[in-house]
Amino acid sequence: MPGALRFHSSAACATNCTVSASSHLPGRRQAAGCLLGLLAGSPLARAQQPEFDRVPPLDELVNVFEFDGVCKLRATREAYDYVSGGADDEVTLRRNRQALSKITFRPRMLSDVSQIDLSTTLFGQKLPHPILVAPTGTHSRLHPEGELATVRGASRAGAVMVVSSSSSFPIDQIARAATVPLWFQLYAGPDKEGTFERVARALEHGCKTVCFTVDVPYFPHRERDLRNRLIRPEMEGERRRRAAGSPGFRYRLPPRFTFEHGAAGIVVSNHGGRYLDSAPATIAVLPEIVSSVGGRIPVLIDGGFRRGADILKALALGAKAVLLGRPPLWGLGAYGEAGVTRILQLLETELALAMGLAGRSNLGSLDPSLVRIEN
């Protein structure tokens, strides 16, 4: 298919290359072909972003990674880097994916999986599946209709959308475009009255849950954005303030804020690797957080989820739902509203299939015995 990259399994090639003591060594051409097959099937090769020379029809795309490639083709470099990049060396950005690849399944065979039920309940809301759209800002970088297109796409897929405080459109317009429950993400600024006003407005327009982001006391060092001059003025301001004897770092959440009690739930997140680089992968710390909470409140998670099987791993380790940040944005940048819907539907289908193949018919049947974490 021109312009669209497809990955395929090299398992057969790898098997054919196995050499026993009594076998004949493969010829040079066969060995070279097998080596290429092994490389194509390696985690490193699969982690590479698909490249496109044209925009293929939406129905030709079969996984999340391909939407990433189309988004890169259609978006400006500045917009794509802003969405897909991370802080500093982007170690945490890569680590989120690497940690998921170290978890393997222990499927249960001969189980009745004739009916797969993905439904769940969160904070009193009955949801068709545990896949949510994470809060991300300024969707208009990727599409002129921004969050309005995103929420329409999420609504068609039955996915809750968490609206960012940094959205391109006001909450009342986003709410009018939605047919699913909305949540609201809050950056609590130094203006206490303004913060309460934003929360009140979100609740007034139907947001059912408020997500208070606590991992952003300062703006991060994102080199892609610096090179693209998206944050140069702020960095220059910091340099001048430090030269004048001030600490100088710009903050989002006032750094004097300390631990808060009374949360109804927790989202395990490293902000997609966009703030503190070298933070651990979210899936790696999920089990200990779930254990610490002890079932008193639900634990949700985000960070690197690109496959239904990834989502199943988190659910098995105790997460009640998974939030997706970059994938809906790739869908938006690639195909607009329809791309958002397709991304979410693909992952919902993959999750259902992975559950069926693992021998689990509903979310209540998931537990840590389904997975093994490799060192």
Q: What is the C-alpha to C-alpha distance for residues 30 and 12, in angstroms, rounded to an integer? A: 13
Per residue in 72-110, pLDDT (tens digit) is 999 998 999 888 887 778 888 899 999 999 999 999 999
Could you confirm whether 271 is annotated as catalytic?
yes
Per residue in 226-274, pLDDT (tens digit) is 776 766 444 445 545 544 444 555 555 655 666 677 889 999 999 887 8
CATH number, domain with residue 318: 3.20.20.70
76 vs 33, residue with greater confidence: 76
| Percentage with pLDDT > 70 across the chain | 76
- One of 129, 139, 143, 271 is an active-site residue; which one? 271
Judgement on whether residues 118 and 17 belong to the same structural domain of the protein? no
The residue segments making up the domain with residue 359 are 79-217+252-373
| Percentage with pLDDT > 90 across the chain | 61
- Name beta bridge partners: 267: 300
Provide mean pLDDT across the span 316-331. Answer: 97
Res 175: pLDDT: 97
233 vs 59, residue with greater confidence: 59
Res 245: pLDDT: 47
How many domains does one find in the chain? Answer: 2
Res 171: pLDDT: 96
Q: Is residue 67 part of a domain?
A: no
Q: Is residue 63 part of a domain?
A: no
Judgement on whether residues 13 and 95 belong to the same structural domain of the protein? no
Q: Does pTM top 0.75 for this prediction?
A: yes
Res 49: pLDDT: 61
Res 253: pLDDT: 60
Q: Is residue 33 part of a domain?
A: yes
25 vs 67, residue with greater confidence: 67
Res 12: pLDDT: 32
